[in-house]
Structure 1
Amino acid sequence: MKYNKLGDSDLQVSKITLGTMTWGNQNTIAEAHEQLDYAFDHGVNFLDAAEMYPVPVQEKTQGLTESYIGEWLAKRQRDQVIVATKIAGPGRGFAWLRSGVQKIDRANIEQAVNDSLKRLQTDYIDLYQIHWPDRYVPRFGETVYDVTKEHETVPISEQLAVFDDLIKAGKIRHIGVSNETPWGLAKFSHVAKKKGLPKIVSIQNAYSLLNRAFDGALAEASHHTNVPLLAYSPLAFGLLTGKYLHDNPPKARLNAFSGFGDRYRKPNVTNAVAAYVEIAKAHNIKPSALALAFVRSRWFVASTIIGATSLDQLKENLDSVNVELDSAIFAEIENVNSLYPNPAQ
């Protein structure tokens, strides 16, 4: 396993991050611990969670993922594990979470951090992320900015001031953002520098062969702010394994949960997937390995987040670290991308 420095932090993170969002819904605590043991025994040192996990989000299961991690973490050497988790932002209608108000303000941040620390059974969180912005932005597959949806928002300086206090208190070490925009990335970095507040060290957005939106303005912002990408959904909810082309397993996530992953149910997605699967076959590479190796190769990616509902899936995904793509394969990938640009953006 290879490791990258995460932005301006002191964290050296594995190029593969273990995602956890199925634990507590599709995976039991025993299965979660089996995955954790296997991943960390094979060089992974970074895991990513959120207070809202598992997904799909439900009141009765919210927080179970962190609790599963906490039971495992309590038995490990804490400084050998880099733990990331997230605070939920406003606008998703979770009436049962913090009295139905999930603003990124002092009261919500402090409660969310303390609740996560308790579930994780730890004194500190290595990377604490804003799951989606406090302000209005297009998100989760939306691409058009609608100015009429703007609403009152907590100033970024106030958000950073709370995180500053929590860092000084030793409860979190570094901060990051998720589902952010180029404007947000630049603004968070600018405000931090101007006011002497903690700088974000990472951005976690969707990125895959089917969604390369980060290649443009976000890549520019990432470069100039030194805030690298933690790429989630690199297999596009499993589509890039090719399993939906023929077998279409009923228990797979897109089939098991109605309305989940709508960003991947768009025109040209199937055609693009089929084309990428053919490239993999032509070069005797598993489609999942092709997709993961591509994401891992991008200069702005610090780590690629993989998730699995079985140990076999996890093993296959981790094996992708041994796959390096050559110039011929990259050229074929670009040919497909020119035909079907960002079909699942």
Structure 2
Amino acid sequence: MDYVKLGSSDLEVSKVCMGTMTFGQQNTEKEGVEQLNLAFDQYGINFLDTAELYPVPSKAETQGMTDKTVAEFLKGRRREEVVLATKVCGKSQMDYFPRKEKTTTSLTKEQILYSVDKSLERLGTDHIDLLQLHWPDRYVGSMFGQADFTPSQVREAVPFEETLEALQILIEKGKVRYAGVSNESPFGVCSMIELAKQSPDLYPRIVSIQNSYSLVVRKDFESGLAESCYHHKVGLLPYSPLAGGSLTGKYAIKEDVPENCRYKMFPGFMDRYYGSQNEKATIAYAEIAKDKGLTPTQVRVALVSNAFAHVSDFISFPSLRSLGAIIVNTSLQLSSDIKAYDIKLDEATLKEIDQVYKLYTDPTKFA
């Protein structure tokens, strides 16, 4: 396993991060602990990612169960061996979340402080290594398959200053080591970095961004965020490198999706991968993989790990290195996925992939 520094922080993390969002929904506690033990003991993965929202789809009866699985795993570890990341929810109507009788989640100072205390309690630890804002409090567009930014949708939101002040308080109290964002835009990244530069005693500098990034979701990051992250030393944690499982090739056609698949379990959330050009793009990428004697999964893991040809210099910059992927799998799938990180794609294969990208640049958004 290779290890890299995360953004401008001193966190030394494995190039693979274990995602946990199905623990408590599609995976039992026992299965979750088994996967984490396998990842840490056999493959040297020291980095895991959870969230107060998990497991998904979020509902009152399961909220927080993922953290309980992580807590069980942590009982058998020295805390300093694990880099633990979690997230606090952005603005949403979820009245079953622990928010002191609030009916919505939001990134206010009060809610962030309260949320972190509850996360620490569930996780059974005294600190979080990386606390991320799960999604912005404001309207941003281009999030979870939404349409691009539309000015008429802009709404009142918690100011960056209030949110960052809460994060600074948590860092000063020793409850959080570093702060990051998720599902963010170039405007959000640059605004928060600028505030931290102007008032470093009041606001922490964000060190990472966790956004969707895959063969079929490249444009949002590469067309603007890549430049912002490069200049501000913000590390990328790409999630959903399999595009919700569609890039395995198994579920390329909607009619072939089994009942226990994520597409059927998360009504509406996975629609971006159907009724769009994503099906055609997935089939095209699968054909390239077949011609090279690789599985579609191996190709997508190798691509996210090694990066695309024209951004490889950015991704491999030591303080900005992509961690490859945040992955969620069964124990059997986990082994093959991790081994795929060592696959090196040749220039000819990368050029073929780039041709498909030019044809299907933003396939999950446009029908």
Q: Please say if 1:344 is aligned against 2:353.
A: no
Measure, in 1, the Cα distance between the counterparts of 2:88 and 2:252. 35
Deviation at 1:23, TM superposition (A): 0.4
- Identify the match of residue 107 of structure 2 among 104, 115, 119: 104
The residue type paired with residue 328 of structure 1 is A
2:356 alignment partner, SS class? helix
* Residue number in structure 1 paired with 2:154: 150
Which region of structure 1 is more displaced relative to structure 2, 22-31 or 159-168? 159-168
* Residue number in structure 2 paired with 1:305: 325
* Residue number in structure 1 paired with 2:83: 82
Measure, in 2, the Cα distance between the counterparts of 1:218 and 1:266. 27
Deviations for 1:128-184, whole angstroms, at most 9, x for unmatched residues?
000001111112111322323322222212211111111111000000000000111
Deviation at 1:309, TM superposition (A): 4.2
- Identify the match of residue 289 of structure 1 among 298, 304, 314: 298
The residue type paired with residue 323 of structure 2 is S
Change beyond 3 A, Cα 1:59–1:182: same
Contact 1:89 1:102 in 2 (8 A): yes
Measure, in 1, the Cα distance between the counterparts of 2:157 and 2:355. 42
Contact 2:237 2:326 in 1 (8 A): no
1:103 alignment partner, SS class? coil
Q: Percent same amino acid among aligned pairs? A: 44
* Residue number in structure 1 paired with 2:15: 15
Contact 1:87 1:131 in 2 (8 A): yes
Contact 1:306 1:317 in 2 (8 A): no
Q: Please say if 1:2 is aligned against 2:9.
A: no
Measure, in 1, the Cα distance between the counterparts of 2:336 and 2:245. 13
- Identify the match of residue 169 of structure 1 among 163, 168, 173: 173
2:180 alignment partner, SS class? strand
Measure, in 1, the Cα distance between the counterparts of 2:137 and 2:276. 31
Measure, in 1, the Cα distance between the counterparts of 2:285 and 2:44. 28
Which region of structure 1 is more displaced relative to structure 2, 296-305 or 107-116? 296-305
TM-score by length of 1: 0.96
Deviations for 1:78-97, whole angstroms, at most 9, x for unmatched residues?
1111010000011x210222
Measure, in 2, the Cα distance between the counterparts of 1:273 and 1:181. 26
Moved over 4 A (4+): none
Q: Please say if 1:128 is aligned against 2:137.
A: no
The residue type paired with residue 256 of structure 1 is M
Q: Please say if 1:322 is aligned against 2:345.
A: no
Measure, in 2, the Cα distance between the counterparts of 1:256 and 1:284. 32
When the two chains are superposed, the root-mean-square deviation of aligned CA atoms in Å is: 1.4
Measure, in 1, the Cα distance between the counterparts of 2:147 and 2:187. 14
5+ residue gaps, structure 1: none
* Residue number in structure 2 paired with 1:114: 117
Q: Give the length in aligned residue pairs.
A: 344
Contact 2:304 2:325 in 1 (8 A): no
